[in-house]
Amino acid sequence: MPIQNNASRSIDLLANDLRALLQVAEANRQPAPPPAPAAVSERIGRMNTALVELRSRRATLNPRQERVVDEMGQFYQDTISTPTNSDIFYVSSDARQNLPEADQITLQRRASFLLNGAAFGELPHAIDEISEEAGIIGYSKATLMINAIANSVKSQIEHVNAAALQDAQRGDRVCPMTLQPAKFSEFLKQHDRVLREIVDACQLPARSGEPAIKKALEMLATGYFRQATNYPGAPTIRPDEVQVQLNSEASSSVKGNARNHIIAFVKIDNGGAEEFCRNPLPKLDDCEDFETIYRARLLQGFDHHSPQKKRAALLIQLMLQEVSELQEVLGMESANIPSHSQPAKRAAIRSSEEMRYAGSEALTDITVATEDAPAQRDIATRAMKALPGLDVAFEGVYHSPLITNALMRKWVHSPEMFMDLRGLAEPSARLQLQVSPLTGQALLDTPAFRSPD
């Protein structure tokens, strides 16, 4: 069933609604802090004990809950194979032919966001139905439903991310070298001296060290583009020159001049990075904007490093994210170059399709917000984004977490959840949002960052 927009009513007020409900208990108790975020998001696979429990209580469920439990079960069945959206909605090829083009495109795509639509639609209802007895373990069907849904969404994200990454790594999509772990680790190993130069330059006061940082980052980016070829899905075009600009909020770009000289302009928004790295890394619950969440995610695993090494790691990863995106842009140019191989063209076309996909309004799958309305996918994921605050408020009253699985709870309170939901909602960003966990871990494995001091 398509996600119904009216099922997301009052989502913006969910946190306040729950807090008001919980005030019937001991109002003088202080909320307990959430758990520390995981360094890297851990997989839960197909594990969903809450869904198993709900099935055992089927006789007590209302018709809507029964339907959602059945459809979540169907989601796990569907992820065994590789269904299209048409398979999910049971639309025949004859029926598709009479639909608008946007609907046809959506139905022909491999199912991803729409795999688990019933879960997103039910979550606001489950949160609204939390009762005063919710803290009695095993009593509340609403809290069981919330856990079953959250687990299924995490499983869905793991499935969708893995499919996109496998496409890229086998050459079906343009694949940045940052998503090729063996090649990328070898690249960092060969550029250990440059990594150390960046670390050393970050020991200097911010402004005085920036010329050395800029020069070293340009060397690292030049080496990246030089080695980021000759594997499946890699672009054959590479820049002749790289120019790094620090403290820039502009977008990076690749441009050619009259002599057909290709220049990569790498713009790095590192404003406030020095102060950010001097302070303890914030938890998701404390982050108020995308930039803070993004930077906290880049520095997961660097908690005990010195402020200078944190700053170096942040600058390097900001640069690597930019060159990864530029590499994808360069790769998509292969679709228009007759001399390029068919595999390169196929990867370019597939990547272009993901970048251009806007969704289908009829299937409640619009991916891009407009001036008049938010994207339908954003609306569907709002209730999931409310879970960190709800979990903290719930435990503050009942002394037991709302999210009961330990791995799930670490994910809910980490920057990974926010980024994972964004990737699920935005096909164009799905690959690039998988870059930073890999680059962060790869940096931690280098001699330059192995020691925190």
Take residue 303 and report the two structure tokens written for it: 């908690």
> Is the model's pLDDT at 17 over the cut of 50?
no
Contact 22, 393 (CB under 8 A): yes
Q: Which of 75, 53, 59, 55 is nearest to 3 (CA)?
A: 75
pLDDT band for position 404 (cuts 50, 70, 90): very high
* Angle (nearest 5°) at CA 221 between 453 and 263: 150
> pTM for the complete prediction?
0.88
Q: What is the arithmetic mean of pLDDT over 430-446?
A: 95
Q: What's the CA gap between 226 and 363, in Å, rounded?
A: 43
254 backbone dihedrals φ, ψ, rounded to 5°: -120, 125
Under 8 Å between Cβ of 193 and 83: no
In sequence order, the 6+-apart residues with CB closer than 8 A to the CB of 30 are 396
Name the residue ranges covered by the structural domains of the chain.
5-173+364-429, 184-353+441-450
CA distance 405 to 45: 13
Task: Show the tokens assigned to 394.
Answer: 């719930």
Token couple for 342: 């068919």
Instruction: Retrieve residue 71's tokens.
Output: 């459809």
Q: Distance between CA atoms of 48 and 238, rounded to whole angstroms?
A: 45
**Cα dihedral across residues 57, 396, 45, 176: positive or negative:** positive
Token pair recorded at residue 154: 């995490």
Alpha carbons 386 and 418: distance in angstroms, whole number: 10
Mean pLDDT (whole number) for 407-428? 93
Q: What is the pLDDT of residue 240?
A: 92
Q: What local confidence, expressed as pLDDT, does residue 7 receive?
A: 34
Q: Does the structure show a pLDDT above 60 at 285? A: yes
Judge whether 7 and 125 are in contact, CB under 8 Å: yes
The per-residue pLDDT for 433 is: 94
Tell me, what's the pLDDT at 370? Answer: 79
Sign of CA dihedral 400, 421, 114, 179: negative
Residue 200: what pLDDT?
Answer: 96
Is the Cβ–Cβ distance between 151 and 44 less than 8 Å? yes
Q: In whole angstroms, give the CA distance from residue 70 to residue 265.
A: 51
pLDDT of residue 68: 96
In this structure, the strands spanning 241-246 and 262-268 are: parallel
| Tens digits of residue pLDDT in 27-68 | 334 444 444 444 445 899 999 999 999 999 999 999 999 999
**Residue 107 above 50 pLDDT?**
yes
Reduced to 3 states, what is the DSSP secondary structure of residue 84? strand
* Choice among 200-214, 294-308, 325-339 with the minimum mean pLDDT: 325-339
Decide: 346 and 251 in contact? Cβ < 8 Å. no
- How far apart, in Å, are the Cα atoms of 452 and each of 161, 308, 318, 438? 31, 10, 20, 19
pLDDT for residue 332: 87
Res 297: pLDDT: 92
3-state secondary structure 365-395: CCCCCCCCCCCHHHHHHHHHHCHHHHHHHHH
Residue 22 pLDDT > 80, yes or no? no
Greatest Cα-to-Cα distance within the chain, rounded to the nearest angstrom = 74
* φ, ψ dihedrals at 126, nearest 5°: -60, -40
Distances (CA, A) of 358 to 5, 105, 370: 17, 10, 11
Q: Best-predicted range by mean pLDDT among 134-143, 286-295, 368-377, 438-447? A: 438-447
Query: Which of 43, 296, 76, 75 lies closest to 162, judged by CA?
Result: 43
Q: What is the mean pLDDT of the chain?
A: 86
Cα distance between residue 320 and residue 305, in whole Å: 20
- The confidence score (pLDDT) of residue 94 equals 81
Q: What per-residue confidence (pLDDT) applies to 8?
A: 39
* Structure-block tokens of residue 287: 């982050």
The Cα angle at residue 28 between residues 27 and 34, in degrees rounded to 5: 90
Give the mean pLDDT of 86-111: 88
